Structure 1
Amino acid sequence: MTDTGDKVSRLLALVPYVLNKGVASISETANTFGIGEDQLRKELEMLWLCGRSSGPEDLIDLMFEGDTVSVTYDGGLSRPLKLTATEAMTLAVALRTLTDLPGAIEGGSAERALSKIETAAGQHLDTAAVDIRLAGQDRWLSLAQHAVADKRAIDLHYYSATRDESTHRVVDPISVFHADGLAYLEAWCRRAEGIRIFRLDRFEDATLLDEPARVPADLTPTDVSAGVYRPAPEHLLVELSLGAGWEWVSEYYPCESTSPAEHSLRVTLRVAEPAWVSALVRRSGGAVRVLAPEWLARGVRSDAAQALAAYGEQ
């Protein structure tokens, strides 16, 4: 499991653990979860941003006293979970996807949870609709796997989130793999004349062509053991200021340097698409700022001003 996956698993387990203890020892809890005390405190502090909504009255609240921590408000975790038919179906889709992933444990927690939801929902759970939705997702996985096995090219319409655009290209498949719960296709892109990695859930349309894949013979498959995104020296070097609650960026993305500043964290990292930086700043609501390069900072400010102006025109 990746570091990010480990952290998410811990965060999901920490609240029930501390609730069960009543008042939990920081040192004992850190030892139980196999991490340092400083890291535990940082992860516990992240829970202050979690809850049923963004309102302060719905967020998890903790109290630290010396070497102990307790949960003063659990964000509703102690209440029995009640799902609408739509929520049950959505959760069933996600759980069925997990149970179909390579390496899923037969009879594991995901399978047991799915069984409970289907039993509780009964006739209100539209299993046909769930199966149809899953079939649509599985169509691209099956197609990609067949393309790799048969060494055939794919005519692909793909949505790029970093550039917010759809592109059409022909790719020559190399491999299919899973990372962080997502399926990817590694392929030689004839348009870019290089190896590219495509998320299967961003396929808009794909057709298996009746022509052989033309993968250059001297290619080396991409090493994704340290993550799907690997910064390259030619990528743009960006300096960001990360405000409270956005320090996770420095842990989730490879950074070349990090340094604490007043009420923030300064990081430098390389990005393949400047548009990704602009999107990150907009999502943060001002908590993330671009410090360098200056031309990118000006562009991000201009994009934000145009977005605000558009709201005023409505």
Structure 2
Amino acid sequence: MDIYSLRYFVAVAEDLNFGRAAARLHITQPALSRHIHRLEETLNVQLLHRTKRTVELTEAGAALLVEARKILEQVESAIRVVQQIAQGERGSLRIAFTPSSMHTVLPEILKHFCDRYPNVKLAMSELCTRDQVKALQAETIDVGLLHPPISDPFLKLHPLPGERLVVALPHTHVLAPQPEVPLKSLSNEPFILHPRQEGPTLYDKILSLCRDAGFEPHIIHGDVKHQARVGLVAAGMGITFVPESLQHASLTGVSYCRLRDESPELQLAVAWRQTQESPVLQQFLQVVEETTGGNPLSTTRERNQNPTADEELTA
């Protein structure tokens, strides 16, 4: 007994007419009769009472109709699931992100993706860029929104819109009311920066801008995460730099000012393994491209090999 035999039987049982059932199945009536006869022989049960004028289900045939419909529904469901997985419409995706991405492009990307692919289960992790690269290499995440440059050859990167950094000051600071300040005016302030190993390009860029402004920054607390750094600013212990988007995640006691001079810029990119072949990932990348209006995601390695963007502000 196979799926075709069950489909043929259900058609005859529903129509109670071999001619109409054969036409619906696009086979000849004699061929359909042979399939039903073979099914009855296989089961050693009479499924239909046949006369020249009528076809009726036997008690066994009525019972088989109920079970056959269930089986065929399960088969159709399995086919749909398999096809959805193959097309990236069902499955799972593990996404890592930095704090700034959650305040810029990621929410819109996630909304569009979830609306379009409700049967894809998302697992979200907040990780700094360094930890995202490690997780991608260990294959514990599938895709990351992180801050380039990244030189790891096993990754593909696609740039997303970046943003400038602004200065976070204690709200009691004399410069806090100003919409923008020259970097040189911060020369006597304690700087609260991210650990250099978690974002050396951005770290070095900040130091370079300070030196260009004529001073060497006094760095304190260089090993704390973003939210803790802003908290230290609120406590009046120094100043720090945050992406423009994060100034809207208001924290009592903190004011934000733009730099009048050249501002460090925080670039953002989506990253995934070059060898990864996942239909769900491809659908996610397609939504990223549509949402951000960027270049096609197939042209990415040039960005890896010629990094010009500043690296991450640690999560």
TM-score band by shorter chain is under 0.3
TM-score by length of 1: 0.23
Choose between structure 1 and 2 for higher RCO, CA contacts under 8 A separated by at least 6 residues: 2
Structure with more strand by fraction: 1
TM-score by length of 2: 0.23
